Amino acid sequence: MEQTYIYKTEHVCSRQIEITHEDGIVKKVVFVGGCPGNTQGVARLAVGHTVEELIQILKGVPCPRSGEFKTSCPDQLARALEQLR
Q: Is the pLDDT of residue 85 over 90?
A: no
Kindly indicate the confidence band of residue 38, based on its pLDDT and cuts at 50, 70 and 90.
very high
Structural domain spans, the chain: 3-82
Task: Tell me what percent of the residues of the chain surpass a pLDDT of 70.
Answer: 100
Which ranges constitute the DSSP H helices of 23-72? Answer: 36-46, 51-58
Radius of gyration of the chain (CA): 12
Average pLDDT estimate for 20-27: 98
Average pLDDT estimate for 19-32: 98
Spatial CB neighbours of 64, under 8 Å, sequence gap ≥ 6: none
* CATH tag, 3-82: 3.90.1010.10
Question: Exposed, middle or buried, 51 (CB in 10 Å: 0-12/13-18/19+)?
Answer: buried
Average pLDDT estimate for 34-51: 97
